[in-house]
Amino acid sequence: MLPEKSKVLVTGASGFIGSHVVRHLADIGYMVTALDLRPPPQEHPAGVIKLSCDLRSDSLPEGDFAFVIHLAALGGVRPSMERPLDYLETNLRATMRLLEHCRPRGLQRFIFASSSSVYGPTAGLPSKESDELHPCSPYALTKLQGEEWGRLFSEKHGIDFFALRLFAVWGEGQRPDLALESFRRKILAGETITIHGDGEQRRDLTHVSDVARTMEAALTWTGNGFEVFNIGTGRNHSVNEMLRAAEEQTGMRAKVEYGSEHPADVPVTLADVRKTRELLGWEAKVFFPALPSTLCP
């Protein structure tokens, strides 16, 4: 049941995931404040309050927000290998500033967008929230450290902190550097696609519309304290399968070359989603390569 006039602050609201989350929450009745440095790719729904703010350095927003959904971050394991200090500043320091800002203001719940990358290399078995973690990139490490700061604030200050470990999000409006969109654009441009390794690396691909729904589920869940949830499908697909899907979408053959493996990549991601299904009552509805009918061109 949606609390009356629930106010939620969404950071990273102009990003790929954030814009979908803002739209979904506004559509079901939340009073949304959308915070980002950049304008959204398309206008947020009517009634959404827009704030421009750099969480690393600006004065943080005042207001009686019941909930925070913290999506603002630098993404990508590969670029983080070259820019670790940028990732530390943006992904960790900004998270800590936001937590400390919210602590004395009566915040009920802080939902943190974590990542499946915290698991690191696995043996190909589904990753459970209780598994030992081996992050192998600065990006993954900042996400794990964000979770740990959330655990501390939950234990010491009573903030409900839920970390959602997102598995390879895809869908309408995805970033151009993500594999599916990058493949599509390069095929259309007649450019050569470079795949690191043999292309048999596998990813659990989670549609952005399902991610937006899980934010709703996390807001309304009756649990409390510190919790971690996997957000995935429990299925995975190879990079070569993604390439074939891009070829089918464009109706063109790709020019492909295979190179050496990237040190930040892991061979397999696959979510064990039993905890999320049993506690949050959430499970994926959209499975690659299908699109929900509302997003089909």
Residues facing 255 on adjacent strands: 192
SS3 for 190-227 is: CCEEEEECCCCCEECCEEHHHHHHHHHHHHHCCCCCEE
Catalytically annotated residue among 30, 87, 119, 139: 139
Nearest to 107, CA basis, from 71, 139, 64:
64
Q: Is 72 helix (H, G, I), strand (E, B) or coil?
A: coil
Neighbour tally for 38: CB within 10 Å: 10
Distance between CA atoms of residues 284 and 212, nearest Å: 11
The answer to whether 139 is a known catalytic residue is: yes
Sort strands 192-196 and 169-170 into parallel, antiparallel or unpaired: unpaired
151-157 own/partner pairs: CB under 8 Å, 24+ apart: 151/226, 153/99, 153/103, 153/110, 154/225, 154/226, 155/226, 157/103
**109 in Cβ contact with 153 (< 8 Å):** no
Return the active site residues: 139
